[in-house]
């Protein structure tokens, strides 16, 4: 019973998706509400503020638990490790306001689509439905399954046939109205947040609330000038933050606003077509693409005609993509499953630009609305910007623990103060004020803000280097990266492939190679026909655009592409692209070739094909190109040369990119409808034409960058869609696999019949090694690679198919393989994402560098995804580099390391500053005294504030160190640094405090301030001053105060200098000119105030005059402290070798998973297996679900 109640009370929203949430049902209770309101009033709003910070407490206090069906409030909790809470009110949608047909109240369906959630959500006869809005998405209560379901999309269960049949003619007027009311407007609305809202959100931050509490205390003590300085600085900080947030809000609003007001021609069933503003579009609407260029206002599936779109906004790559209509076929499978992972070729995504339409003979191109508003692809990206996923990084978790630790010290100070002041019988008000003053001194409220200063400066430097960042928090994480995955084509190698040669095949034998460039043009034949027509190139504004590989291949034929507008009257069909022989082409017996239909390329299928017709002839031809292994499997085996694999290996082993071509004559008859052509049927029984060999040159920056990363002990991994042999060769040429290192190829196969899944380990032929025994693989000690503990010079390489089988059937072997795997070939976009995730499970900090197209999933999954794109900020990844090579990777790691070290330094400094002040104030409290107003002002504003603002300006060190900076605040070196420096401070200040009392000229309380010209004796004088009252003066003026102030102030400057260490992660301190000059000026000011025999200075600073010899003693104490502090920090705590010795002596071993597996592998005498075959113990019933990020594009 209890279990059923819990099941009704709590369910998962968006199960299995990235934005998965737990949803709990609650009902508001009157008497609880009254009690809470009373609590708000009695606590003067403090309870309300607490509920603002903790929304779950608000719900628990005001409501009682109930089933979701009865709930009027829902509490939402994220399912990630952060478990953040929010609450939402359940609202009602009333459909009775619409003039609906009479039968809607009976058992009739509200909308024609019987599977639609709208039909299951409506409560009859009231015609109402319950809904909630979470992160801009609307959910309605599905009465049949008792759960909230997303609206604003067409059901995925629709088949190709039902989409054509139900929505092909448009929706009825009534259904449009119902869907408009339920789904809401088709608009991605980002409000420009009002200044007052931003202001409230900012000042209600716990940091500012704590600061307001602190300032109230200071003001109550009459520290007007200091408090006003902090108030002014806080106002400047808040204004700048609000201005920045407002700018971001305006920028995002302007980015999405233009797509909310697009005019579209919508067809209504039985009423014809009319122009509408796009915000009125609903899922299921059918609209026309009438020839003009425009940005799509929704996600839609193309049902008739074809078009060319620019998806640069989504992928960061501005290559035109051809979209084909959804086939009109009878199939029980949902339409996405029917199209497999290639369903995207039929979908027009919101925000992408339609640049060319190709209508059919039936009229203009038509599309059905799939998703509207924030449910669209663009809406999803905007939501990811509005609601970014929090970064799970130890630094931010440790900062909270750190503040709690300082708070504990503050509480100790509070108890100490109460004891001292009560023992002196001081009024309760004074006791509490002073106790709270000491509590706030220990916890600098600027620590959270200080963590971001290094990041802000790093982001600014990265921008100058043309590296743009949409997630600044990740810059610190870049400092921890120890593994980088690289895409190959366009990332490690040149984007534009060069055509190297063609090996035609005739009579199942390879013919003589035709090399490029060549003095003789390519002779006419099926091979030439395939190269001229099997591509997705388009002529836009008299310029050929498309995939670089297609472009190079077409260029090699010397044929020309007709602008489709002038070619529309040729060959009778409208949906046509014409290619003709150019003046430099070899003579051909054809006027040209009309490309009638395209089966586009996709990463998953690794092939593309076209249906074409020679002008003036009736015969139809199908040409295919793609990965040689795939294309050969579609060919009749008698047409494939016997030495096909050997020939393929000859070229792939030299690093060439090899594409296979095939051909087939289609018997279609006259006036056939190409859109209904089945791909599987057409692409069968082909004739193998030959191989196209393309040279994929390494970018000149690739090798030096990979060498730099290897020297810094950062692993480099290649993850590509290309052939395995090509990938291994490129990895060798690039230096990922060192000379003398062995490559072990892993081949895994799915179970076949009774035979279980198998995994084979084979030494690559080009590995010059003795394969007799496994230990020999590790024999060559001269060339061992020691990457973070790896001591074996072997590398595993595999393709996507084998990787998938290993994940499914040999998952226990995966960690052992991954710690030494270097090359992953023929990887689909989804496999790239899961690979990054598997590396993260081994506790690697993973960087991913790709071209932003089919790497989107992996770029988002990695700790630091870097997209090489021409766009300023591709929404495909957290980082976008306009430098089109991998130089940006070490640059980003350098900046990340510098930002991380700077963040730690500032936090350490702030902790020390707080504790230095805490110790000095605690000593003065012993005799019921306190530092003066201006004394605090100089310490807090002139020294600390300026140090915090400029300490992080130091630039990164140009050479990457072979180890990473510590990744956590709570680590032995850092904690020891703070503890030891606090000890030095306590010793120094206590010595000063006690020694001054022993001096012959010392008196307990004195109003003498003036110094005689000779400074030998202390002469009496009137106690002028800046105190707010005579009481305040007597609590400041003392020899102890005059001694402790220079000791604590100059100590703050000392720790700022000591903590600003340069090498190995930052440049030396003197290169940070602003910071160095400021430290020198601060030191000069402190010495001047302490040493100057000027009455006005002493009067304002509330100092007493001391003999010069005593001042020299004070300076000697400071000098000794500096020497000890500098030696401790630089020679002991920052000594990497010393810590390694301590670790070795104590037997400490890294807890990182990858380190553990490296140790296991090293101890295993039978690893790595070579020339062996293993079988899965049993065929597993568990099905591995691959969270594929489907994207059809090139490698």
Beta-bridged to residue 369, according to DSSP, are 300
Residue 891: how many other CB atoms lie within 10 Å: 21
Catalytic residue IDs: 487
Residue 957: how many other CB atoms lie within 10 Å: 19
Question: From CA 246, how far away is CA 1089, in angstroms rounded?
Answer: 43
Task: Supply the DSSP string of 26-56, one letter for each residue.
Answer: EEE-HHHHHHHHHHHHHTTTHHHHHHHH-HH
Question: From CA 75, how far away is CA 84, in angstroms rounded?
Answer: 10
Residue 28: how many other CB atoms lie within 10 Å: 14
SS3 85: strand
Query: Is 751 in contact with 757 (CB distance < 8 Å)?
Result: yes
The dihedral over CA atoms of 922, 923, 929, 931, expressed in degrees to the nearest 10, equals -80
Give the single-character DSSP code of 1109.
Answer: H
Q: Identify the helix (H) or strand (E) that includes residue 1022.
A: none
Question: From CA 658, how far away is CA 693, in angstroms rounded?
Answer: 5
Q: What are phi and psi of 377, to 5 degrees?
A: -60, -40
Question: From CA 1027, how far away is CA 1025, in angstroms rounded?
Answer: 6
What is the rounded radius of gyration, in angstroms, for the C-alpha atoms of the chain?
36
Beta-bridged to residue 423, according to DSSP, are none
- From residue 1093, alpha-carbon distances to 1005, 1021, 1024, 1088 in Å are 20, 14, 16, 9
Query: Could you tell me which of 46, 975, 945, 914 has the C-alpha nearest to residue 439?
Result: 914
Q: CA 882, 888, 892: angle at the middle one, nearest 5?
A: 120
Burial 972-1006 (b: 16+ CB within 10 A, else e): ebbeebbebbbebbeebbebbbeebeeeeebeeeb
SS3 467: strand
Instruction: Please state the length of the chain.
Output: 1195
> What is the longest distance spanned by two Cα atoms in the chain?
119
Distance, C-alpha 63 to centroid of its chain: 37
Query: Could you tell me which of 876, 896, 1028, 837 has the C-alpha nearest to residue 218?
Result: 1028
Query: Is 845 in contact with 480 (CB distance < 8 Å)?
Result: yes
Query: Could you tell me which of 644, 701, 661, 654 has the C-alpha nearest to residue 549?
Result: 661
Instruction: Output the CA torsion sign for 964, 969, 970, 974.
Output: positive
């Amino acid at each position: 019973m209890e279990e059923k109640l819990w099941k009704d009370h709590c369910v998962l929203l968006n199960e299995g998706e990235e934005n998965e949430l737990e949803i709990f049902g609650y009902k508001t209770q009157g008497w609880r509400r009254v009690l809470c309101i009373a609590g708000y009033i009695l606590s003067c709003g403090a309870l309300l503020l607490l509920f603002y910070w903790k929304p779950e407490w608000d719900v628990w206090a005001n409501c009682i638990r109930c089933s979701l069906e009865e709930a009027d409030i829902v509490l939402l909790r994220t399912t990630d490790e952060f478990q953040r809470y929010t609450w939402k009110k359940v609202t009602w949608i009333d459909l009775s306001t619409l003039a609906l047909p009479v039968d809607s109240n009976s058992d009739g369906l509200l909308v024609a689509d019987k599977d639609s959630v709208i039909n299951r959500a409506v409560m009859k006869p009231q015609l109402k439905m319950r809904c909630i809005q979470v992160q801009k998405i609307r959910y309605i209560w599905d009465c049949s399954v008792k759960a909230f379901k997303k609206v604003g999309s067409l059901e995925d269960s629709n088949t190709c046939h039902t989409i054509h049949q139900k929505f092909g003619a448009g929706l009825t007027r009534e259904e449009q109205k119902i869907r408009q009311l339920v789904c809401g407007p088709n608009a991605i609305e980002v409000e420009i947040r009002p200044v007052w809202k931003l202001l409230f959100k900012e000042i209600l931050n716990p940091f500012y609330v704590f600061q307001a509490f602190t300032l109230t205390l200071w003001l109550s003590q009459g520290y007007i000038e200091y408090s006003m300085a902090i108030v002014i600085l806080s106002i400047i900080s808040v204004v700048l933050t609000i201005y920045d947030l407002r700018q971001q809000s305006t920028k995002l609003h302007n980015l999405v606003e233009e797509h909310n007001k697009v005019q579209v021609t919508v067809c209504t069933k039985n009423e014809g077509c009319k122009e509408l503003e796009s915000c009125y579009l609903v899922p299921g609407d059918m609209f026309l693409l009438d020839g003009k260029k425009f940005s799509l206002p929704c996600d839609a599936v193309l049902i008739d005609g074809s078009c060319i779109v620019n998806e640069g906004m989504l992928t960061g790559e501005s290559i035109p993509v051809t979209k084909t209509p959804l086939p009109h076929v009878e199939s029980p499978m949902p339409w996405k499953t029917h199209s497999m992972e290639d369903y995207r070729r039929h979908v027009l995504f919101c925000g992408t630009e339609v640049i060319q339409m190709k209508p059919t003979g039936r009229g203009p191109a038509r599309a059905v609305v799939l998703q509207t508003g924030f449910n669209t692809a663009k809406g999803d990206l905007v939501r990811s910007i509005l609601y970014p996923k929090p970064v799970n990084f130890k630094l931010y978790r440790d900062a909270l623990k750190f503040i709690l630790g300082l708070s504990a010290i503050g509480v100790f100070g509070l108890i100490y103060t109460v004891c001292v002041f009560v023992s002196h019988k001081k009024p309760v008000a004074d006791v509490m004020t002073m106790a709270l003053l000491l509590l706030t001194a220990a916890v600098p409220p600027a620590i959270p803000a200080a963590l971001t200063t290094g990041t802000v400066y790093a982001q600014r430097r990265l921008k100058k280097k043309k590296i743009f960042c949409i997630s600044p928090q990740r810059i610190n994480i870049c400092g921890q990266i120890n593994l980088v995955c690289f895409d190959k084509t366009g990332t490690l190698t040149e984007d534009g492939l060069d055509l190297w040669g063609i090996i035609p095949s005739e009579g199942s034998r390879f013919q003589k190679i035709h090399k490029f460039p060549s003095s003789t043009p390519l002779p006419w034949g099926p091979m030439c026909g395939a190269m001229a027509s099997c591509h997705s190139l388009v002529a836009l504004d008299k310029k050929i655009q498309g995939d670089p590989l297609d472009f190079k291949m077409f260029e090699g034929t010397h044929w020309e592409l007709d602008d489709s507008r002038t070619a529309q009257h040729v060959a009778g069909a409208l949906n046509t692209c014409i290619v003709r022989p150019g003046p430099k082409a070899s003579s051909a017996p054809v006027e040209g070739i009309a490309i009638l239909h395209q089966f586009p390329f996709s990463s998953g299928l690794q092939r593309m094909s076209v249906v074409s017709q020679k002008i003036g002839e009736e015969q139809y031809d199908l040409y295919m190109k793609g990965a040689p292994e795939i294309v050969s499997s579609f060919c009749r085996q008698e047409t494939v040369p016997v030495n096909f694999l050997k020939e393929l290996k000859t070229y792939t082993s030299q690093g060439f990119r090899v594409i296979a071509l095939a051909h087939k004559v289609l018997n279609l008859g006259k006036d056939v409808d190409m859109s209904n052509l089945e791909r599987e049927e057409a692409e069968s029984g082909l004739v193998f034409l030959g191989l196209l060999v393309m040279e994929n040159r390494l970018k000149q920056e690739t090798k030096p960058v990979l060498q730099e990363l290897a020297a810094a002990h950062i692993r480099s991994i290649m993850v590509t869609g290309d052939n395995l042999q090509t990938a291994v060769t490129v990895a060798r040429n690039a230096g990922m696999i060192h000379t003398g290192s062995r490559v072990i190829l892993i081949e895994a196969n799915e179970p076949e019949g009774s035979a279980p899944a198998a995994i084979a380990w084979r030494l690559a032929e080009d590995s010059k090694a003795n394969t007799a025994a496994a230990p020999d693989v590790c024999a060559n000690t001269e060339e061992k690679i020691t990457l973070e503990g790896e001591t074996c010079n072997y590398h595993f390489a595999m393709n996507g198919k084998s990787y998938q089988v290993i994940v499914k059937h040999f998952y226990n072997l995966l960690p052992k393989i991954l710690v030494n795997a270097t090359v992953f070939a023929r990887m689909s976009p989804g496999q790239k994402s899961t690979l990054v995730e598997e590396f993260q499970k081994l506790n690697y900090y993973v960087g991913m560098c790709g071209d932003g197209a089919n790497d989107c999933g992996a770029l988002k999954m990695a700790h630091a995804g870097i997209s090489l794109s021409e766009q300023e900020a591709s929404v495909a990844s957290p980082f976008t580099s306009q430098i089109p090579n991998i130089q940006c990777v070490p640059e980003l790691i350098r900046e990340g390391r510098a930002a991380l070290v700077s963040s730690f330094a500032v936090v350490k400094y702030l902790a020390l500053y707080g504790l230095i002040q805490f110790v000095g104030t605690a000593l003065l409290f012993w005799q019921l005294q306190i530092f003066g107003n201006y004394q605090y002002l100089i310490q807090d504003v002139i020294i600390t504030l300026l140090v915090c603002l400029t300490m992080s300006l130091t630039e990164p060190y140009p050479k990457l160190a072979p180890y990473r900076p510590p990744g956590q605040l709570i680590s032995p070196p850092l904690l020891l640094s703070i503890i030891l420096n606090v000890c030095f401070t306590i010793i120094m200040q206590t010595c000063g405090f006690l020694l001054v009392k022993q001096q012959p000229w010392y008196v307990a309380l004195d109003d003498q301030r003036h110094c005689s010209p000779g400074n030998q004796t202390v002469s009496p004088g009137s106690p002028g001053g800046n105190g707010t009252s005579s009481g305040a003066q007597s609590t400041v003026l003392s020899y102890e105060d005059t001694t402790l102030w220079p000791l604590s102030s100059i100590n703050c400057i000392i720790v700022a200098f000591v903590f600003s260490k340069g090498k190995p992660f930052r440049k030396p301190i003197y290169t940070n000119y602003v910071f160095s000059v400021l430290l020198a000026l601060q030191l000069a000011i402190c010495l001047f105030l302490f040493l100057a025999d000027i009455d006005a200075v002493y009067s304002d600073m509330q100092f007493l005059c001391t003999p010069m010899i005593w001042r020299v003693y004070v300076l000697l104490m400071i000098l000794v402290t500096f020497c000890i502090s500098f030696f401790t920090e630089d020679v002991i705590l920052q000594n990497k070798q010393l810590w390694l010795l301590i670790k070795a002596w104590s037997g400490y071993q890294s807890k990182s998973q990858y380190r553990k597996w490296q140790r296991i592998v090293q101890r295993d005498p039978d690893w790595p297996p070579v020339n062996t075959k293993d079988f899965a113990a049993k065929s597993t019933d568990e099905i591995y679900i691959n969270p594929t990020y489907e994207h059809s594009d090139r490698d």
